[in-house]
């Protein structure tokens, strides 16, 4: 066999290798889009657990509640302080009276009915009254911030779902003391995430947005269409493969996660041909080769 024929055979094998590899479906695994062990931001005793295994929960829904007696009492005190404005009104009234007294003193000193010392005293009293009114307003602002702080501390006693999903596991029950331990595990199964292992020979033939035909191991679900969202840019040297992630919509939660599957990738759309740049005016056209 001549050298030219060997080169032609090698070129033909290299061209047909991705097609031969892609003829077989690739193994994949259907996983939840997101999984979280949900716990409490504070330490306490579980007073109530509202979520059970298998429950569907929405984002922000209360899953469990810690004892809140101390926090509720602190919130009530802070609320009373935040709403109390009698001191502010009294200080403001005293400041208004001091300013009126200063205005009268200014009028009287023009007629020489009072001394300059009396005017200076009225000015000092007005400044002191204004400062006391400002201090009362600042104290009220601090009380309002303390109210918001107490409200936030009370909110930490409630354990809420970080996202919509299904309760996979319940770890704790009512009456238990928790510190950093999770209370429940939540998984989001809409959409589902599909992880596939693809031979390195197909690297560059699979692109983001490409459609994959997914066949779960349970045949009643038929063939499903998922879109490629992530293509790893690093090939694993040990297995000579790379990972591809697909997203599969599951709005009615009909398809369970944890299933094994196979996937075939539809051919990627061909890139549009590049048009030749227009020649500059007056420039001679290049002859076709």
Kindly report the three-state secondary structure assignment for every residue of 7-18.
HHHHHHHHHHHH
pLDDT, residue 289, reads 44
Q: How many CB atoms lie within 10 A of CB 68?
A: 17
Residues in the chain where the model's pLDDT stays below 50: 1-22, 276, 287-289
Per residue in 221-249, pLDDT (tens digit) is 999 999 999 999 999 999 999 999 999 99
pLDDT, residue 25, reads 87
pLDDT, residue 185, reads 96
pLDDT, residue 179, reads 87
pLDDT, residue 286, reads 52
User: Who's near 251: CB < 8 A, 6+ residues apart?
Assistant: 190
Phi, psi of 80, rounded to the nearest 5 degrees: -65, -40
Residue 147 to residue 156: CA distance in whole angstroms: 14
Instruction: Classify 38-66+159-184 by CATH class.
Output: mainly beta
Q: Outline where the chain has alpha helix (H).
A: 3-22, 69-83, 86-110, 116-155
pLDDT, residue 50, reads 93
Spell out a b/e string for 241-267, using b for 16 or more CB atoms within 10 Å of the CB, else e. bbebbbbbebeeeebebebebbbebee
pLDDT, residue 17, reads 42
Is domain 22-34+188-265 given the CATH code 3.40.50.720 in the classification?
no
Phi, psi of 144, rounded to the nearest 5 degrees: -70, -35
User: Who's near 195: CB < 8 A, 6+ residues apart?
Assistant: 28, 29, 31, 243, 244, 245
pLDDT, residue 89, reads 85
């Amino acid at each position: 066999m001549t050298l030219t024929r060997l080169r032609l055979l090698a070129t033909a094998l290299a061209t047909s290798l991705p097609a031969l590899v892609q003829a077989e479906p690739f193994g994949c695994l259907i996983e939840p889009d997101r999984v979280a062990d949900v716990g409490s931001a504070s330490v306490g005793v579980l007073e109530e657990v509202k979520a059970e295994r298998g429950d569907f929960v929405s984002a922000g829904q209360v899953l469990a509640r810690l004892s809140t007696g101390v926090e509720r009492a602190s919130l009530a005190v802070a609320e009373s302080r935040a709403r109390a404005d009698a001191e502010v009104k009294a200080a403001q009234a005293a400041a208004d009276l001091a300013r009126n007294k200063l205005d009268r003193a200014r009028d009287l000193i023009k007629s020489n009915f009072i001394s300059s010392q009396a005017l200076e005293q009225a000015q000092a009293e007005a400044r002191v009254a204004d400062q006391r009114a400002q201090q009362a307003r600042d104290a009220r602002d601090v009380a309002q911030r303390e109210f918001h702080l107490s409200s936030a501390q009370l909110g930490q006693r409630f354990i809420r779902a970080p996202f919509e999903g299904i309760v996979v596991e319940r770890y704790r029950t009512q009456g238990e003391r928790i510190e950093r331990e999770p209370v429940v595990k939540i998984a989001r199964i809409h959409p589902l995430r599909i992880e596939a292992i693809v031979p390195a020979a197909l690297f560059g033939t699979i692109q983001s947005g490409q459609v994959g035909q997914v066949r779960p191991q349970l045949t009643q679900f038929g063939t499903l269409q998922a879109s490629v969202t992530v293509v790893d840019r690093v090939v694993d040297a040990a297995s000579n493969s790379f990972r591809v992630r697909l997203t599969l919509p599951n709005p009615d939660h009909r398809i369970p996660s944890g299933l094994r599957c196979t996937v075939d990738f539809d051919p990627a759309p061909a890139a549009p041909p590049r048009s030749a740049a227009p020649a500059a005016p007056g420039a001679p056209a290049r002859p076709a080769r």
